[in-house]
């Protein structure tokens, strides 16, 4: 059984953007809200607000590579990704 991996961005309470990967975005967001399982990013006064971007990645390797690439982008380009995704019909 293969799992479909997803790269995601979450807007934090301070307006910053967190990027991660998962096979279950709902479960992962709930874990962030609860302060469980990794993501020290949300342990320092920041709270996750909402998922603002998701992108299918197929497998873990592809997801990890895409996550790294997104993390290297300047904030302006991350915002462009989010904006473009919101304009694309589902």
CATH number at residue 33: 3.40.1440.10
- Number of domains the chain contains: 1
Any domain includes 1:
no
Q: H helices of the chain, where?
A: 25-34, 60-72, 75-87
Which of 87 and 90 is assigned the larger pLDDT?
87
Any domain includes 81:
yes
User: Confidence band (pLDDT; 50, 70, 90) for 86?
Assistant: confident
Segment 39-47 long-range contacts (CB within 8 Å, at least 24 positions apart) = 41/12, 42/12, 42/18, 45/14, 46/12, 46/13, 46/14, 46/16, 47/12, 47/13
Any domain includes 44:
yes
The confidence score (pLDDT) of residue 89 equals 62
Range of the domain at 82: 6-87
Any domain includes 46:
yes
The confidence score (pLDDT) of residue 1 equals 45
User: Confidence band (pLDDT; 50, 70, 90) for 2?
Assistant: low
pLDDT digits (tens, 9 = 90+) for 16-74: 999 999 999 999 999 888 876 667 788 778 899 999 999 999 899 999 999 999 999 99
């Amino acid at each position: 059984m293969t799992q479909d991996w997803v790269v995601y961005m979450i807007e934090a309470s301070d307006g910053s953007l967190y990027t991660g990967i998962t096979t279950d975005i709902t479960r992962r967001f709930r874990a962030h809200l609860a302060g469980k399982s990794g993501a020290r990013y949300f342990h320092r006064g920041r709270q996750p607000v909402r998922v603002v971007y998701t992108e299918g990645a197929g497998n873990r390797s592809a997801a990890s590579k895409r996550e790294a690439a997104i993390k290297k982008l300047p904030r302006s380009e991350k915002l462009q990704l989010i904006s473009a995704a919101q304009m694309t019909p589902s």
